[in-house]
Amino acid sequence: MSRPPVIAAPRRPSRKIMVGDVAVGGDAPVSVQSMTITKTADVEGTLSQIYALAGGGADIVRCTCNESEAAEGLARIVPRSPVPIVADVHFHYEMALAALEAGVHCLRLNPGNLRKPEEIKLVANEAKDRGVPIRVGVNAGSLHPQLYKKHGGATPEALVESAMMELAYFDEVDFHDVKISVKASNVPLMIEAYRQLADTVDHPLHLGVTEAGPPPGGLLKATAGIATLLAEGIGDTIRYSLTADPVEEARAGRQLLEALGLRERKGLDLIACPSCGRAEIDVIGVAKTAQEAMVDRDLPIQVAVMGCVVNGRGEAREADLGIAAGRGRGHLFIKGKIVRVVPEDEMVEALVAEAERLAAEGIEARLAAADAGAEAAAEADRQALLEDRGGDVNQSESRVELIRKQLSHQEGAQ
C-alpha cells in the first residue's frame, strides 16, 4: 500500500559499489545487513541462518572467516546463499585471501586489527583483480594504539583518521571499491564520527551502533544512532548489532527503513493508541493478539487498533485498515471509512480476515464491499458514548461562548 512521502534531508551523494547483485550507495535503496552467529564451518547450520535472515529482511549477510575451516565453509556456502555474503576478517590477512578464493562478494577488514601496510595492500590488490569490494570496518573499541594516544581516546576524529589511513593504503594500489563504517557503542560519538566522515569522503557508508546490547535497550540505542543519520541523508546500508537472534536485527533494520519511507513496505505495520480512560477495551491485549495473528502473514499494510470509537477512527484515518471499540462492538474501517460493525469478541478475527482480503483485493474493492448501514450504526455508537462519557466534548461549544464573552468584556473595559 502507498505511504505518504517522508520529509527528510536529501540523500548524501556517494559512489555506488556492488556487493554481489546488491547495489550500495549512489541512488540504490538503503540496504539491510546482519551477521550469522553460527560457526561458519557448520555449512548447513550457517545456511539455515542465512535463509532465516533473508526472510527477515536482510539484503546482505556477513559470516566470520577466522580459520581455515571457516574459509572452506564459505566456499560451500556462497553458491547456495540467497543473498550476497561478506567475509568478516580481523587479524589474519591469509583469511581474507582464502575468503576471496571461496568466492565471497565482499570483505570486511578491521584496520585496528590488520595493521601491516604490505598485507593490507596485498589483500586490496587481490580484491581488485576479482572485482570484490571491501568494507573498512573501523571500531572504537579496536583502534590502532597510536590513534588512541594521538587523540586521547576513541574520538570521532580518531575513528575518521583510522578510515583515512586505510584508504591511503588502498589508493597506493588504485583500489577504490570501498564502503566504510566508523562504529562505536556510544551513540553521540558514533553520530559525530559519521557526520565527519560524510563530509570527508564520497564512499558509501555502512551505519551501525556496535555492541548495542540486548533488546529493548539495544534497539533503542541502535535506532537512535542509525535513524538520526538516515534522517540527515547519511547512510547507504545499515546493521543493528544486537545481543539477540540475528533475525531480530534484520527485522529491525527493515522496519526502520520502512518507517522512514526509505524502503517499500513488505510487512505489517501495526499502530495502536497507548490506551487511556476512554478506552472501551483492553487495547494492549487486543493489539498484542492482532500482532501475533498477523505478523507472519507478510501483509504489506498498516493496521490500527484503537480503544475508543469517539476519536479512534479520526486519529487513525490514514491507516489502510483499523478497528475501534465501543459499547461492546468494534468499528472496522478502511482509510477512515466504516465498512463493518462486529461484536467485540470477534474484533481480532474480523480484523485479520479483512487484512487478508485488503492485501489481496486492494482498497477500492474492499471499500466497495462495505456493509450497508455500517456507517450509520457506528455513528449511533459514537453519539451514545458522547452522551454517556463525553461531558467535556459536549460542553465545548458552551465553553467557547464563555471565552468569547470574557474576552469581549475585557476589550470593552479597556
Phi, psi at 53, each rounded to 5°: -65, -40
Q: In this structure, is residue 120 part of a structural domain?
A: yes
**Residue 310: predicted pLDDT:** 64
More confidently predicted of 342 and 172: 172
Q: pLDDT-based confidence at 163, cuts 50/70/90?
A: very high
CATH of the domain at 379: 3.30.413.10
Looking at residue 153, which CATH number applies to its domain? 3.20.20.20
Identify the pLDDT of residue 393. Answer: 46
Amino acid at 125: N
Distance CA 351, CA 373 (A): 19
Tell whether 314 is covered by a domain: yes
The number of CA neighbours under 13 Å toward the Cβ of 354 is 31
3-class state of residue 53 by DSSP: helix
Give the confidence band of 2 by pLDDT, cuts at 50, 70, 90.
very low
pLDDT the model gives residue 140 = 92
214 and 290 part of one domain: no
Query: Are residues 168 and 23 both part of a single domain?
Result: yes
159 and 208 share one domain:
yes
Domains identified in the chain, total number: 2
259, 286, 302 - which closes a domain: 259
Indicate if 137 and 251 belong to the same structural domain.
yes
Domain membership of residue 157 (yes or no) is yes
Which three cell numbers, joined as nine digits, stand for 238?
545499515
Going by pLDDT thresholds of 50, 70 and 90, the confidence category of residue 187 is very high
How far apart, in Å, are the Cα atoms of 114 and each of 8, 69, 121, 162, 380?
A: 38, 20, 11, 12, 71
d(Cα 108, Cα 88) in Å, to the nearest integer? Answer: 5
Q: Are residues 191 and 143 in the same domain?
A: yes
- Rounded distance, CA 325 to CA 341, Å? 10
Which of 259, 279, 303 is the C-terminal boundary of a domain? 259
Residues 170 and 28 in one domain: yes
**Whether the predicted pLDDT of 161 surpasses 70:** yes
Per the listing, cell 490506551 goes with 275
Cβ atoms of 257 and 315 closer than 8 Å = no
Q: What is the pLDDT of residue 388?
A: 64
Q: Which amino acid is at 399?
A: R
**Whether residue 309 sits in one domain with residue 217:** no
Edge-first strand listing for the sheet containing 269-272: 269-272, 302-306, 321-326, 329-334, 337-343
b/e burial code for range 333-344 (CB count within 10 A of at least 16 → b): bbbeebbbbbee
**251 and 276 co-located in one domain:** no
pLDDT, tens only, 304-353: 888 776 666 777 788 899 888 877 788 899 998 999 998 888 888 999 99
Question: Would 406 be classed as within a structural domain?
Answer: no
Establish if 400 belongs to a structural domain.
no
- Between CA 225 and CA 221 the distance in angstroms is 6
Residues 6+ apart with CB under 8 A from 388: none
State whether residue 36 is helix, strand or coil: coil
Instruction: For the chain, give the percent of residues with pLDDT over 70.
Output: 92
Residues 223 and 297 in one domain: no
**pLDDT value, residue 397:** 59
Cβ proximity of 108 and 65 under 8 Å: no
pLDDT for res 297 = 82
- Taking residue 105's Cβ as centre, other Cβ atoms within 10 Å add up to 21
The pLDDT of 161-184, averaged and rounded, is: 97
The set of cell numbers assigned to 227 is: 535513524
Q: What are the pLDDT digits (tens) for 199-258? A: 999 999 999 999 999 999 999 999 999 999 999 999 999 999 999 999 999 999 999 999
- Chain segment 372-400, per-residue pLDDT in tens: 988 888 888 778 777 765 544 445 556 77
**Cα–Cα distance for residue pair 309/311, rounded to 1 Å:** 6
166-170, 341-345, 400-404: which has the minimum mean pLDDT? 400-404
Same domain, yes or no: 313 and 295 = yes
Phi, psi angle pair for 241, to nearest 5° = -105, 90
Tell me how far apart the alpha carbons of residues 155 and 315 are, in angstroms, rounded to a whole number: 44
Q: Does some domain include residue 226?
A: yes
CB 224 within 8 A of CB 197: no
Structural domain span for residue 307: 269-394
Asked if the structure places residue 143 within a domain, the reply is: yes
Q: Say whether both 43 and 187 belong to one domain.
A: yes
Task: Compute the distance between CA of residue 83 and CA of residue 134 in angstroms, rounded to an integer.
Answer: 17
Q: Is 27 exposed, middle or buried (0-12, 13-18, 19+ CB in 10 A)?
A: exposed
Supply the DSSP string of 336-377, one letter for each residue: TEEEEEEEGGGHHHHHHHHHHHHHHH-HHHHHHTPPTTHHHH
Examine residue 403 and state whether it is found in any structural domain, yes or no: no
Mean pLDDT across the chain, nearest whole number? Answer: 89
Strand partners, 18: 23
Amino acid type, 117? P
Average pLDDT value for residue range 71-100:
96
Predicted local distance difference test score (pLDDT) of residue 394: 45
The pairing of beta strand 17-19 with beta strand 22-24? antiparallel
Indicate whether this model's pTM tops 0.85: no
Does one domain contain both 241 and 302? no
